[in-house]
Amino acid sequence: MTESTQTRVFENVPSPFCGIASDDLKIEVEGQRVRILENGDAVTIPGFEQAIADTVPRIAGKPATLDQAVARASEILKSTRLPVFSGFGTDVDETRAALSLIDRCRGVFDQMRAEGGLRNLLVLADSGWMATTLGELKNRVEVLVSFGTDIELNFPRFFERFVWNKETLFNGDTGKREIIFIGRAPTGQAATAPDGRPPKVIPCAQESLPDVAAALSALAKGAKLQAEQVAGIPASELQSVVDRLRQAHYSVVTWAAGQLAFPDAELTVQQLCQMVATLNKDTRAAVLPLGGQDGDRTASQVCAWISGYPTRVSYARGYPEYDPYHNGAARLLANSEADALFWISSLSSTPPPASDVPTVVIGRSGMRFESEPDVFIPVGVPGIDFAGHMYRCDNVVAMPLYQLRKSELFKASDVLRAIEQALGSTT
């Protein structure tokens, strides 16, 4: 491994690990060691500071050269009938390379966080929504409703950067903004206003969130509820929320779909979207779905460009077919329909699920496994070891990622293209 004693400091570094892509990090690099000096949080610090632990590929747990590992991976692909590709904590170029290989070998594209994303995508495809961006939130929001979500759990700096920001394009007093939590109370203090005002919290059990969303949508349409309470919440309190949103010049309803872990959660998301659409008859309101940890929103974006579909796409018939149920990796593996698993994740150290099928991992150095995969090729991280691009959770900004250090780690996109080339040379 290339070592250097030179210490360098980088400013305004974007994070590839968080969906809001904080781009104001100050980072120190000394040799292979990376340390955040300013503006780190519970998501970005472990993402950047994880040490390099593996640099040599392994075949069945034994050290191998890259050429040997690529050859073995291509042999596995050549012998499969339906390989499934999942993971996808990746940047733009890595996802493009993966999709080219998937098309070539007639495999299936899925993502480790697809279940959460589909709670949004199913609504967008069925009835659409009126969505905003992080920039619009930062500059315009007057009332923010967080539904069923603890925002700080996945986005520790969300309030600092987009709600309590000191400057806006329109010179508004952000200190007067209001926040309403329905369902989950915040675990941190960031949602508290600069003047000490706590957010309004309306507690609700997660299994009751669908009833509350339906009630809010009905009230926004002017319906009168027959019940005096919904999930233990007085109907008058829910009416006051709708009234406050209608009075606001600009309101936003947000949620993290990955935290809505109950059956048919997409129907709850749809009710929220319908409420917002109704409010826009009298004022301005929008939704802001939050997500995109470790590049998964980027992978969905790239898949949509190339195939026309955002995730769970099969090339088994020689062309892309979208099916959010049948093309799920877990289902394909559990039913013995897939006969190989390729796990690709350069940003996240999350390992692949245990499986009886041949498994190839092109993953971040330091990934640990329940059982050693048939092939493991450790790769570098875009935004640390290589330059790249990723998309924020609002899908409108492609953030540049910068190389911060030089290492001997391979680039996932290069590995994937090498496998595809090896396939071509053996057929």
pLDDT greater than 90 at residue 332: yes
- Say if CB 57 and CB 71 are below 8 A apart: no
Q: Mean pLDDT of all residues in the chain?
A: 94
The predicted structure's pLDDT at residue 171:
62
Report how far residue 99's alpha carbon sits from residue 302's, in angstroms, rounded to the nearest whole number: 9
Give me the residue label for tokens 């890259």: 66
Percent of the chain exceeding pLDDT 90 equals 89
Mean pLDDT of 156-166: 94
- Beta-carbon contacts of residue 144 (< 8 Å; ≥ 6 apart): 137, 163, 177, 178, 179, 180, 251, 252, 253, 254
Predicted local confidence at residue 397, as pLDDT? 83
Average pLDDT score over residue span 376-400:
94
% of residues, the chain, pLDDT over 70:
98
- How many residues can be counted in the chain? 427
Q: Is the pLDDT of residue 170 over 80?
A: no
3-state SS, one letter per residue, for 274-285 = HHHHHHCCCCEE
- AA identity, residue 424: G
Adjacent-strand bridge partners of 342? 85, 360
Is pLDDT above 80 for 425?
Answer: no
Taking only the tens place, the pLDDT of each residue in 348-378 is 999 999 999 999 999 999 999 999 999 999 9
Half-sphere exposure of 114 (CA within 13 A, CB side): 26
Residue 106 Ramachandran class (φ > 0 left, ψ -120 to 50 alpha, else beta): left
Residue 224 pLDDT class (50, 70, 90 cuts): very high
pLDDT recorded at residue 28: 97
CA 385 – CA 330 distance, rounded (Å): 31
**Residue 326 to residue 313: CA distance in whole angstroms:** 10
Q: Which residue has the tokens 């594209």?
A: 109
Mean pLDDT of 168-180: 86
Residue 3: per-residue pLDDT: 46
> pLDDT for 239-259, tens place per residue?
999 999 999 999 999 999 999
- Helices 209-220 and 265-279, packing angle to 10 deg: 20
Q: Check if the beta carbon of residue 5 is closer than 8 Å to that of residue 19.
A: no
Sorted by sequence, the CB contacts under 8 Å of residue 149 that are 6+ apart come out as 183, 184, 254, 255, 256, 259, 260, 290
Residues 6+ apart with CB under 8 A from 24: 12, 13, 38, 39
Please report the DSSP string for 257-301 in residue order.
GGG--STTHHHHHHHHHHHHHHHTTTSEEEEEEE--GGGHHHHHH
Which of these ranges, 21-25, 169-173, 234-238, has the smallest mean pLDDT?
169-173
For position 1, what pLDDT does the model report?
34
pLDDT 10s digits, 191-207: 999 999 999 999 999 99
* Confidence (pLDDT) at 173: 81
Is 168 or 404 the better-scoring residue by pLDDT? 404
293 confidence band (pLDDT: 50, 70, 90): confident
pLDDT level of residue 427 (50, 70, 90 thresholds): very low
pLDDT digits (tens, 9 = 90+) for 82-133: 999 999 999 999 999 999 999 999 999 999 999 999 999 999 999 999 999 9
HSE at residue 366, side-chain half, CA atoms within 13 A, is 15
